[in-house]
Each structure stands twice: as structure tokens, then as C-alpha cells.
Structure 1
Amino acid sequence: MLLYILLCLEVVLRTFLEIRERRLTQLRGGVFAVLRLIPLVNDIVPLPENRSDPPTSLFVEKHEEGHRVLRHSILRNLMKVAFLMVAVWFLAAMVTRWNWSFFEAILWLHLVAIPFRYFFNWYCWNQEFEADAYAFKEVGKQKAKTAMQELAVCEIPYTKLFASIYREHPTIALRSQRILKKVIGGQ
């Protein structure tokens, strides 16, 4: 019974979050808004982050170089493997030790994974900020500002709360605030 109450609470909270996001950004949610409300589906369907592909610039190249130099992909993949191992252990314990049905175990895993996803997004955001700082140091303020303006045109402007729950990349507004001390773009 607790499982179904928590799932209903999740749907209600996600609905309020969607409504808040639509009101603040004045953007339509489309089919993705509906998919984000359905438990388990919102784990699988990724949220689009950009309206179009961002243009390649020296800042973007240096940002990606920063990821390589700082070994972010290895660290990110190690984090994913660690979370996957915990998830498999948790799933196995629920099915074998506690004799829950596989369906119930999957639903509990979905609920328990919510704070882990939030933590993983926070971890990824810190890596993005580090790569931005690396690129900023390499190309300078003017090129970084130009690149942020170009990226802001391509990005779907999500609010900070919404992005922290659904995205592995911080918004351009947050990234520009961090490196330029000036907000460029949306919320």
C-alpha cells in the first residue's frame, strides 16, 4: 500500500513541477511533459536539452578538451557503474531476501533511485562547471561570452529546479553566472 501511495505522490509532485515549469517558461511541454509524469517511463525517456545543435566554437572545443583532461567521462562512468551495482544488489535483495514480486521490486527501485538521480545530476553539473572553467581559462572572457550567447539561443530555457531534476547539464544561465558573473539566457 505504501508503494502505491508513494507512486501517486510522485505523480502529483511531478505534475506540480510541470505546471510550475510551463508557467515560468511559457513553453509548451508536448509529449515529453506527459511522459515525465508516468513512473518508470520518466526514467527511460530523456529530456531534450536543445532546440538545435549548438555551433562549434573554440570555447566548445576547449570545454570538451577540459572534460578529457579532467577525465570526466571515466569518473562519470565509474559513478554509473557504482549506482548500477547498488541497484542490482537492491533489486536482488528485494526479490530473493524479502520475497517481493519482480514488478514491486522494480517500482521500489524506481522510487529509491530518485535521490540517486538527483545526486548524479549534481555530480555531472559540477563536471560541466569544471569544464567551463577550463575553457574560460583557455579562451578568455570575450570568446566565452560569445559562446554562451550562441548556446543560449540553442538551449531550451528550463528553470534551475526543473533542470536539476531532469538534466545532466546545467542551464546556460547558471553556467554563465558561474564563469562570467553575468546571466546569459533564460531563467
Structure 2
Amino acid sequence: MRLGKVVKSNSHCDYVVQVYDRQEVDHPPGADDYGFGSFVKLNTEERHWAVGIIYNSQLFNPMFLNTGPRLSSEPDPLFSPDLISETRTLLGTVLVGTLEQQNGKPYGQQGIPRIVVPVNTRVDTMTTEEIYRFHLSPGDRPQFCYYSHLLRCGGTFANDLTRQVLQELIDSTLFSGPDQRALEMLCKELSWKQTMAAMR
């Protein structure tokens, strides 16, 4: 699904995405389409730029606390211009790698992407299959190499974000056997560390 576009960056791997509204697309995304921990891909028609995870959201409303003069009655429709809604939903997105191709099969190149993503790059939600392929190496082995990067760059909620991503990968049952158990151990270890940190 078409989600939005890149409007700015806070760092090399921290981008702000503006969600499309009815002024830009016929069918704008709903609130369930860009939840905390959702995987997104940053693409143009020319190339794929990066894979990211939504780690924060911000509602922008320029009318909030607007103390300027206001009309005492409804404006006359014959003499007033069309009003345009300037409210926006902004998403903090941490980049965790790229999707590459080998022998016609996509795989994940995990870590901080080297390239700078241009402004206005389109952002789409990722399918379950794309998320699965991103977590496979060129040899079709499961990987989760962005674990420490997500803990460092996932914002204020980095621990919760990492734990949620792990839990969703576990619940998806995309992996099995030792790989599934390894994800479960990582998730339990992170939960234990969070619990011990809260007790201090």
C-alpha cells in the first residue's frame, strides 16, 4: 500500500515520512496501516532505496493554540476562498537495510544503508513475503543483524520497538526449528533486561 513520502531526515538512518491524505491520493492509508513497528520500503520508479521500521508518530496541527483573530460568524461562501486542511501525520522511520536481488530472489542486506534517500521518495508498507525475504541472507539463512542498531537508533521506545518486532516475527511462524527458538531467546533476554533495568 502507498503510505506516504519522505519529507525530511533527522540523521543518516532516521527519516520523517508524511502520510498521504485525501488531497494527494484517492484512497489514503488508515491508522491500522502505519502502526508502531510496521515495516516499510522506500522506493522510486528508478530504484529501491531502503527498508525501514516505524518507531514514532507525530500529529501536526497548525491550528492548535492559534490565538489570532477569528470570524464571529460563518464566512460567506461567495467571498471566502476554499479552506485547505493543513493537519498532517508524520512518522519517524529508522532505516535497517535494503532489499537486494540474487538469481531473481530478493534477500535482505541488513544494517545502515550507505545511500542518502531523496526527499519525496515514496514509502510503501511491506507485505508479509517481503518482510520474510528481508530476514533471509543471500544463502536463504535467517538473519536479524539489525538488532543492536535498532536498540541504539529506535528512539525513546527502542527497547519496546525491538521486542515488538521480535514478537511479531515469532508469531508469524515464518521461521521454524532452531531459528524460531533463537528469536524466542532474544525476545526473552530483552524482556529480562528491561525488567531488571526497571527494578534498579
TM-score class, shorter:
under 0.3
Which has more helix, going by share of residues? Answer: 1
Which one scores higher on RCO, CA 8 angstroms, separation ≥ 6?
A: 1
Provide TM-score, normalisation by structure 2. 0.26
Which has more strand, going by share of residues? Answer: 2
